[in-house]
Amino acid sequence: MRVARFSHGGDPVFGVVELAADGGPNPDTVAVVTGDPLAGPVHYTGERIDLAEVRLLSPVIPRSKVIGVGRNYAAHAAELGNTVPDLPLTFFKPNTSVIGPGEAIVRPPETSNLHFEGELAVVIGRISRRVPRERAAEVIFGYTVANDVTARDLQQTDGQWTRAKGFDTFCPLGPWIVTHLGLDEVADLEVTTTLNGETRQQGNTSAMTYQVADLIAHISDFTTLLPGDVILTGTPAGVGPMVAGDEVTVSIEGIGTLTNPVVGQES
Ligand code: ZN
């Protein structure tokens, strides 16, 4: 199932996306549901809308947190002169950094080196604390695509990454949450980032040092995960700068494609 959050002229609602490519209706359609799929059971209203006619929003607004993971792909760690850490290296992004598909990433005046980082994102479905690795699948609601936008210059000068990773608009998520993939499947997905149509990152989740179950076990050992919390699993090699006027697209095989324009902010 692909769970989308969208607006169609009114308040945001949730729906289930049905793609023609999967044998669904043609054109692609979203079936409207009542309630929030992350909060409990939902019911189809019977209304179906062409996907092209809705504005997709971030499929989730994390209630409490987005947890990022640094240096989880050896080739990316190496390109910035780092090694893979002995334990997952984690940081928080505030939920106010989250934006949806098509929304603008705003370059703040404090940075002159704004980078894209295409990443697999895990959406948590249950309140969870100290989840053993072998039970990680039970607490996952689904997966989406993320861009862990980073002010690379501030990441280096600040030491702590909170500001470099935490500006408003620095966490595009979408286009929807895929709930039908197993841990084995998400351990072998192509992750591709293009800038203005040119491929910049081409990696595979199989190269992650710490896999999704490792990350959930490690993170839930120090913080309680809540439904709607999001874990960004780290980025493959090829990160690089974006400037105002650029368009950045992150695609993950079997999940979807997330595109955002970049704009500048004077101050
Ligand atoms: Zn990242």
Confidence of residue 208 (pLDDT cuts 50, 70, 90): very high
Cα 49 to ligand 1 centroid, rounded to whole Å? 34
Tokens 């960004």: give the residue: 232
Confidence of residue 259 (pLDDT cuts 50, 70, 90): very high
Q: What is the mean pLDDT of the chain?
A: 96
Pairing of strands 13-18, 240-242: unpaired
User: What predicted TM-score, i.e. pTM, was given to this entire model?
Assistant: 0.97
Q: Please state the rounded mean pLDDT for residues 137-153.
A: 98
Query: Is 206:225 a contact under the CB 8 Å cutoff?
Result: no
Cα 224 to ligand 1 centroid, rounded to whole Å? 21
Cα 137 to ligand 1 centroid, rounded to whole Å? 22
**What proportion of the chain, given as a percentage, has pLDDT over 90?**
92
Cα 148 to ligand 1 centroid, rounded to whole Å? 5
Domain ranges, ordered by start, for the chain: 2-56, 66-264
The matching CATH number, chosen from 2.30.30, 1.10.10, 2.40.128, 1.25.40, for 2-56 is: 2.30.30
Q: Please state the rounded mean pLDDT for residues 169-183.
A: 98
Lookup: tokens for 150:
């980073």
Q: Please state the rounded mean pLDDT for residues 46-53.
A: 96
Cα 149 to ligand 1 centroid, rounded to whole Å? 7
Cα 154 to ligand 1 centroid, rounded to whole Å? 14
Residues with CB under 5 A from ligand 1 (ion): 117, 148, 235
Residues in contact with 20: Cβ distance below 8 Å, sequence separation at least 6, in sequence order = 26, 27, 28
- What does the pLDDT read at residue 265? 84
- What does the pLDDT read at residue 22? 87
Q: Please state the rounded mean pLDDT for residues 44-53.
A: 96
CATH topology of domain 66-264: Fumarylacetoacetate hydrolase; domain 2 (3.90.850)
Residues in contact with 236: Cβ distance below 8 Å, sequence separation at least 6, in sequence order = 73, 75, 76, 118, 191, 201, 202, 203, 204, 207
pLDDT at 267 over 80: no
- What does the pLDDT read at residue 235? 97
Cα 68 to ligand 1 centroid, rounded to whole Å? 6
pLDDT at 203 over 80: yes
